[in-house]
Amino acid sequence: MNFEFSDDQKALAEAARRYLETKCSPGAVRNVMDANAPYDRALWAGFADMGFLGITVPEAYGGLGLGYLDLCVVAEQIGRAAAPLPFTSVILAAEFLQESGTALQKQFWLPRLAQGRAIGTLAFAEKPGSLSAKSIQSAVSAGRLNGIKRAVPDGLVADFAIVAATADDRQGVSLFLVDLNGPGIVRTTAATIDPSRGHANIVFENTPAEPLGQAGAGWPVIETILDRAAVITAFEQIGGADRALAMARDHALTRTAFGRPIGAFQAIKHMLADMYVSATLARSNAYYGAWALSTAAAELPQAACLARLSAGSAYQLCAKNNIQIHGGMGFTWESDCHLYYRRSALLALSLGGARHWENRLIAYMRARRYGAAANAGTPGMITGAAA
């Protein structure tokens, strides 16, 4: 595979980076936390004005009509800034609408998403831990949804949700579009390690729900789009990992002990080397995932798993070691280190934890080696978000 981003994509990344460096300082992220705000509204409005929210939305619906590679380079810059934005939720909601929505649903919601006038989210998990297609208890009967979804990303501020539930016939999982500003909805805050990315528990009681796509065929769509989400999130993670590595390196070069920069000591050198190797390997796997995603390659499930696992591991290692290299000051609120540590932990649990993606990769490799029959009877599984 010979892969590289185009000059236009690099220019898009640079534009996003400049905007975030200007408008999203670490102090601005802490301000969002201090105010218990679900996201930075001013930053979000600017993102919408620059067209970043409609990167993959067709021009006919008010988007830019670009591709997944453009989306990946912007996600990386969001990760570098640890930006408090519901970006991934909106992007994935748009993906579900484009994949399964009716013409009317697309015409109503896609322009609103692309222009920043609406926020969409995904509501799948119902309890901590793993979630399989068979474990979905929320149900829709006669167009009314009943159930509870936990740790819904950006659930406090979302205008609508893509909800996984069983339908009247109970034949598999279906997808439904639910207006979260409608009746029969109770939202409460779900505490997470990173309060700059708000989550909510949502109770549905006889809530109106519109079918989204074919009845009983929701789970394959969920798995398909989660593979895309894994690649996009991997770029956010490598952006964060690179930033944590740069912070640690700069501190090691300027902080002195016993008359020497601490970067001269072997223990610090080894930590920085481990961070660099892990981040570089993660970038390689993320690029593989981006290539597979942009070309609709058959190995996308494998590439998504590899990107997800390596990027999650790299970000957590770099964020943790960054705190260690900063020493006691790295644990303080005023330090920027904890912003990346929090985000690394949250992203590690979103879309499913490492065990899910490891199992998915194993199942994919077995299927390639022994044929699809090797996985017969094994239900799809995703892990619930952090609660």
Could you say which of 198, 216, 234 is where a domain stops?
A: 216
Of the three residues 87, 114, 141, the one that is the final residue of a domain is 114
| Residue 98 structure tokens | 């484009």
**pLDDT value, residue 284:** 96
pLDDT in tens, 163-222: 999 987 667 899 999 999 999 999 999 999 999 999 999 999 999 999 999 998 999 999
| Residue labelled with tokens 């500003």 | 181
Residue 371 pLDDT level (bands cut at 50, 70, 90): low
**What integer pLDDT is reported at residue 134 of this predicted model?**
75
The answer to whether residue 107 scores a pLDDT higher than 80 is: yes
Is 21 domain-assigned? yes
Q: Give the long-range contacts of residues 28-35, CB within 8 A, separation 24 or more.
A: 29/81, 29/82, 29/83, 29/84, 29/196, 29/339, 30/333, 30/339, 32/84, 32/196, 33/84, 33/195, 33/196
Judged against a pLDDT cut of 90, whether residue 353 lies above it is answered with no
Same domain, 163 and 276: no
Q: What six digits make up the tokens of 260? A: 């020497």
The answer to whether 305 and 292 have CB atoms below 8 angstroms apart is no
Q: Dump pLDDT digits (tens) for 216-244.
A: 899 999 999 999 999 999 999 999 999 99
Instruction: Tell whether 379 is covered by a domain.
Output: no
Pairwise pLDDT comparison (208 vs 373), residue with the higher score: 208
- Indicate whether 288 and 180 sit together in one domain: no
- Within-domain flag for 187: yes
Q: What's residue 130's pLDDT?
A: 62
345-381 b/e with 16+ CB inside 10 Å = b?
bbbbbbbbbeebbebbbebbeebeeeeeeeeeeeebb
Distances (CA, A) of 235 to 71, 242, 261, 326: 9, 11, 32, 25
- Whether 325 is covered by a domain: the verdict is yes
Structural domain that includes position 368: 219-373
Per-residue pLDDT reduced to its tens digit, 37-48: 889 999 999 999
Is the same domain home to 367 and 227? yes
Indicate the number of domains in the chain.
3
Q: What is the pLDDT of residue 169?
A: 66
Within this chain, do residues 88 and 102 fall inside the same structural domain, yes or no?
yes
Query: pLDDT value at position 125?
Result: 87
Same domain, 204 and 320: no
- 194 and 259 assigned to the same domain: no
Domain boundary among 95, 114, 133: 114
User: Tell me, what's the pLDDT at 285?
Assistant: 96
28 and 73 share a domain? yes
What does the alpha-carbon distance between residue 225 and residue 175 come to, in Å, rounded to a whole number? 13
pLDDT at residue 234, rounded to an integer: 97
Closest by CA to 220, choosing from 162, 178, 174, is 174
Are β-strands 199-208 and 130-132 bridged in parallel, bridged antiparallel, or unpaired?
A: unpaired
In terms of domains, do 281 and 208 share one?
Answer: no
Average pLDDT, the chain: 91
Q: Domain with 204 in it: what CATH number? A: 2.40.110.10
Q: Kindly state whether residues 203 and 236 are assigned to the same domain.
A: no
Q: Which position has the token pair 């009317």? A: 104
Percent of the chain with pLDDT over 70: 94
Do the domain assignments include residue 381? no
Q: What is the pLDDT of residues 268-278, one digit of tens each?
A: 999 999 999 99
Gap between the Cα atoms of 241 and 222, Å rounded: 27
* 356 — pLDDT class (breaks 50, 70, 90): confident
- The answer to whether residues 97 and 42 belong to one domain is yes
pLDDT bucket at 133, cuts 50 / 70 / 90: confident
Q: How confident is the model at residue 373, as a pLDDT?
A: 43
Domain shared by 92 and 175, yes or no: no
The answer to whether residues 206 and 261 belong to one domain is: no
pTM score, whole prediction = 0.92
**Model pLDDT, residue 370:** 74
CATH code where residue 308 lies = 1.20.140.10
